[in-house]
Structure 1
Amino acid sequence: MSESKVALVTGAGQGIGRGIALKLASDGFDVVVADLAVQEEKAEGVVNEIEALGRRAIFVAADVSRKADVEAAVAAAVDQLGGFDVIVNNAGIAQVKPILDVTEEDLNRILQVNVNSVVFGIQAASASFIERGVKGRIISAASIASIQGFPILGAYSASKFAVRGLTQVAAQELAPHGITVNAYAPGIVGTGMWELIDAELSKINGKPLGQNLKENVDSISLGRIETPEDVAGVVSFFASENSGYVTGQVLLVDGGMLYN
């Protein structure tokens, strides 16, 4: 087994996932960059960035809504990087629709990607940790929408409330093995997901492109939009020895939007 620790980050080809992967690499982790096969070019770019930091990295194509893909990504961490200590269930999608317009297909899709993937990640990671006697870390993507439901984001809010519940349950069940389970709850991050949300809100309420985003950013106490690096700092904490006595928590990292 390698001396360095190994982290697996899903959805790591861009956005928040890329920021997390690079931060963990700077913390000394070797990293499995997992993302959809169609994101391979971007993901390989992240692999190169990690290697430039002096760490090892591999790309693994994975559709996190498929249990077998998540299990294969975990296996690749052990087989190719020689260890596996942290999983970051980061991959997710947004949907912007009034609750009355959410279709069966919409609901199935967002639950498969945002909820099922977290269950599969918890299962695959904990099985590997327990088998190898590793007191590993499971870290998942929640959202401010896991604490408060937001209009026009009904299915998304429901999926993130589910992540919060799974985090609390898994933390209790896995504590006897020394495995901690936590989640991070970003607010408005300047990535493609919020560009999508802004565009869809514009269609619904008729405000010009960019106006919905600006109004939301204006509500942030710290007065600026969130960056992937802001989120990555919290994940870094959860992956570090500093959080050894923290489990079952969802930590808001939103610049001061919600107070819980």
Structure 2
Amino acid sequence: MYLSGKKFELLGGFFVNDSNFIKKTALVTGASRGIGKGIALELASIGYDLVITYRTGKEEAEETADSIEKNYGRKCYPIHAELADESTASIIVQKSIDVLGKLDVLINNAGVTIKSPLAEMGHKDIIHLLSLNLKTPLLTMKAAVKHMIDERIKGNIINISSTRGKRAYPDDAVYGGTKAALIRATESVALECAPFGIRVNCIAPGATKVREGNNEHLKKLGDKIPLNRVGTPRDIGQAVAWLISDQASYITGETIKIDGGLILPGMPEDIRPEAGYGWGEIR
């Protein structure tokens, strides 16, 4: 396609000027399946080479990498990572730099959810949620920001939070608390990084279908969401792809809800399980 005498290609819905196109690179944590996979596929579709991490889904991560290389012609390196270990964060960032040559984008997607009354939650579960959902994103951001500043890369960082970090629910003090803290951390890091041209933002998914099956539950939940369906990994991936693009170059420190209107003011307040609203559950 030619516009104004220059050749353009349409990649994933974005027009890219091939005379100015420079290879872009990204690290996506927790991307063997679900939301992370959806993000990885969308970034590959707009020309990114990738490192994706996994903990247990080795086969799924390799299938995702193969699909990216086959369908989009981009490089994708799956790396095993125990992200709850605090030493892992800086290691995976450095590995990504080593195999990709540089790091333009960091997507902190890996996380875990446990719903339980705080008084009944095990100590180890609390520590695990705090480590994986908050400490690890902070440490990966620290390593990525240092690299971007040192190499003068005007990069992007996206933290995947949750609508449960924006609205309080019972049995959600720890998970919801970590996701709320991640939103707040995003704002502070955005202020720190702005002078270097690095943008830091947050995506807060709502109820999102991340596995096959259980369609009856999802149908009932979707019927109660204003846009009449649950979200998909592609919905999140497309939002991330836009947010790291030049089309969003004046946005930093922002949290965007991708929830079909699930937690808008005016939605029903009845959050009992028998009410059937399934607030923020991700399955």
- The question of a shared fold, defined as TM-score above 0.5 by the shorter chain, is answered with yes
Aligned-residue offset at 1:70: 2.0
1:107-146 matches, cutoff 5 A: 107-146=126-165
Instruction: Look up the match of 1:237.
Output: 242
Q: Distance in 2 between matches of 1:83 and 1:180?
A: 17
| Aligned residues of 1:94 and 1:193 also touching (Cα < 8 A) | no
Q: Distance in 1 between matches of 2:239 and 2:100?
A: 24
Q: Render the CA deviation track for 1:127-158: whole Å, top value 9, x for unaligned.
A: 11011110110100111111101222221111
Question: Compared with structure 1, are the counterparts of its residues 45 and 193 closer, same or farther at alpha carbon in structure 2 (3 Å cutoff)?
Answer: closer
Instruction: Look up the match of 2:251.
Output: 246
Q: Which runs of 5 or more residues in structure 1 are unaligned?
A: 196-208
Find 1:153's aligned residue among 172, 177, 180. Answer: 172
Q: Render the CA deviation track for 1:178-202: whole Å, top value 9, x for unaligned.
A: 111101000001124997xxxxxxx
1:162-177 matches, cutoff 5 A: 162-177=181-196
Q: Distance in 2 between matches of 1:172 and 1:93?
A: 27
Q: Which moved more, 1:98-107 or 1:136-145?
A: 98-107
Q: Which moved more, 1:157-166 or 1:144-153?
A: 144-153
Instruction: Look up the match of 1:77.
Output: 96
- The structure having more radius of gyration, on CA atoms, is 2
AA aligned to 2:256 is L
Q: Which SS does the other structure have where 1:32 is aligned?
A: strand
Q: Distance in 1 between matches of 2:247 and 2:22?
A: 19
Q: Distance in 2 between matches of 1:155 and 1:215?
A: 27
| Aligned residues of 2:209 and 2:232 also touching (Cα < 8 A) | yes
AA aligned to 2:236 is V
Find 2:58's aligned residue among 40, 51, 65. Answer: 40
Instruction: Look up the match of 1:16.
Output: 35
Instruction: Look up the match of 2:14.
Output: none
Q: Which SS does the other structure have where 1:31 is aligned?
A: strand
Question: Compared with structure 1, are the counterparts of its residues 218 and 149 closer, same or farther at alpha carbon in structure 2 (3 Å cutoff)?
Answer: same
Instruction: Look up the match of 2:278.
Output: none
Aligned-residue offset at 1:41: 1.5
Find 1:106's aligned residue among 104, 111, 125. Answer: 125
Q: Distance in 2 between matches of 1:25 and 1:222?
A: 28
Instruction: Look up the match of 1:205.
Output: none
AA aligned to 2:247 is N
Quick check: 1:222 aligned with 2:227? yes
Higher relative helix content = 1
Aligned-residue offset at 1:79: 1.5
Instruction: Look up the match of 2:69.
Output: 51
Aligned-residue offset at 1:236: 0.6
Q: Which SS does the other structure have where 1:120 is aligned?
A: helix
Aligned-residue offset at 1:42: 1.2
Kindly report structure 1 stretches of 4+ aligned residues shifted beyond 6 Å: none
Aligned-residue offset at 1:97: 1.1
Aligned-residue offset at 1:96: 1.5
Question: Compared with structure 1, are the counterparts of its residues 102 and 113 closer, same or farther at alpha carbon in structure 2 (3 Å cutoff)?
Answer: same
Q: Distance in 1 between matches of 2:24 and 2:209?
A: 29
Q: Work out which structure has the larger RCO, using CA pairs closer than 8 Å and 6 or more positions apart in sequence.
A: 1
AA aligned to 1:24 is L
Q: Distance in 1 between matches of 2:142 and 2:162?
A: 21
Query: Alignment identity in percent?
Result: 34
AA aligned to 1:48 is D
| Aligned residues of 2:221 and 2:229 also touching (Cα < 8 A) | no
Instruction: Look up the match of 1:203.
Output: none
Question: Compared with structure 1, are the counterparts of its residues 14 and 256 closer, same or farther at alpha carbon in structure 2 (3 Å cutoff)?
Answer: same
RMSD of equivalent CA atoms: 2.0
